[in-house]
Amino acid sequence: MHVLFPVIGYLIGSISAAILVCKLMRLPDPRTEGSGNPGATNVLRVGGKLPAAITLIGDALKGFAPVFVASSMQIPPLWIGLTAVACVLGHLYPVFFQFKGGKGVATTFGAVFGLSWLAGLLVIASWLALSLTFRYSSLAALGSLVILPLFLWITTRSGVIVICGIVVGALVFWRHRSNIQRLIKGEEPKIGNKK
């Protein structure tokens, strides 16, 4: 029965808030505009603050809800952690959208809140601090994920949860490899830029 939680997490994670929001609000497909990424940052570029905010909330909720339910059911930590990983995998490689998804940051942060509200607050605080300092969404996200395992250890004291956090971080880093290259070259667009 425990395996159902990661399966459901993956399917929920596969729902793309960016694509659905843009379609419902009659905006350009985020996969063909801006950076081409179906995520909140790109929706901000192509549609503005309101659709971006709705996308952000939607992506975070699909990470939070399955993990929170799994945690509430008091199943073993391994399956809770795997549910978090599955939610992020669904966002990155959605079965409903030809396995072409977003970068996974909002979904990851939502899943972290499902694991521990305090870890969630800490990772959001670190993202805000880095984004306000450097104004690069990708850099802020990656910096937050570097210290995520520490936040998870402090708040959960579960080695399994920490390992799952490391796996999620590695997946998100992999999906940000083009952003990392642009950051090194000084070509990454800053928050609020249209390009």
85 exposed, middle or buried (CB, 10 Å; 0-12, 13-18, 19+)?
Answer: buried
Q: C-alpha angle 8/32/27, rounded to 5°?
A: 80
Residue 176 and residue 142 in contact, taking contact as beta carbons nearer than 8 Å? yes
Q: What is the pLDDT along the chain (195 residues), one digit of tens a residue?
A: 899 999 999 999 999 999 999 999 999 999 988 878 898 888 988 898 999 999 999 999 999 999 999 999 989 999 999 999 999 999 999 999 999 899 999 999 999 999 999 999 999 999 999 999 999 989 999 999 999 999 999 999 999 999 999 999 999 999 999 999 999 999 887 876 655
Which pLDDT does position 192 carry in this prediction?
61
Residue 55 and residue 16 in contact, taking contact as beta carbons nearer than 8 Å? no
Which pLDDT does position 134 carry in this prediction?
94
Q: What is the pTM of this model?
A: 0.92
Sign of CA pseudo-dihedral 155, 161, 167, 171: negative
Residue 131 and residue 143 in contact, taking contact as beta carbons nearer than 8 Å? no
Which pLDDT does position 111 carry in this prediction?
98
Q: Please tell me the total number of residues recorded for the chain in this structure.
A: 195
Tokens encoding 57: 């909330």
Q: Which helix (H) or strand (E) holds 30?
A: none
Residue 145 and residue 179 in contact, taking contact as beta carbons nearer than 8 Å? no
Give, as one character, the DSSP assignment of residue 12: H
